Amino acid sequence: MALKTLPYDSAEYLEDDQAIVEYLEEALKIATEDSDPSFLTVALGTVARARGMSQIAKDAGLSRESLYKALGAEGNPEFGTILKVLQALGLKLSIKPNDAAALSSSYSLFPTPSFPLQCPQAVPKERPHAAILHAGH
């Protein structure tokens, strides 16, 4: 008698927030290591299906069809689409160094600006960190 198999769908096992976070963290790790952003895109599509693609599309301000296409195996979504989907899922993107030792004490992403600080444009109160980004211009 032949062995009967069934299709496997990760979306069926993404039942809570912790499972989703772990799934996407692992997908991001693999996508980064393999230089394959589509791996993360497909994983994000799997999470969207687990949460309900129609609702995620609505919350992200996209059509269901365009979201399926963007997050499918052949999709190539814009970064803005990824951010919208993450927000609709109640998730946020975080950046951290690969190796803490890789960032030496002599290098800083945000060097201390010299004073007086002269910004070429006003910085909104809700984004005070933007002043550092404008300090060098």
SS3 per-residue string spanning 2-62: CCCCCCCCHHHHCCCHHHHHHHHHHHHHHHHHCCCHHHHHHHHHHHHHHHCHHHHHHHHCC
Burial of 100: CB neighbours in 10 Å, binned 0-12, 13-18, 19+: exposed
Residue 56 near residue 50 (C-beta atoms within 8 A)? no
| 124 prior amide bond cis, ω within 30 | no
Q: What is the pLDDT of residue 54?
A: 96
Q: What single letter denotes the amino acid at residue 122? A: A
d(CA 45, CA 11): 9
Q: What count of other Cβ atoms lies within 10 Å of the Cβ of residue 3?
A: 4
What are the structural domain ranges in the chain? 10-88, 108-137
Q: What is the pLDDT of residue 19?
A: 96
Chunked mean pLDDT (size 10), the chain, 137 residues? 89 94 95 94 96 97 96 93 96 81 56 54 51 46
Q: What is the pLDDT of residue 136?
A: 45
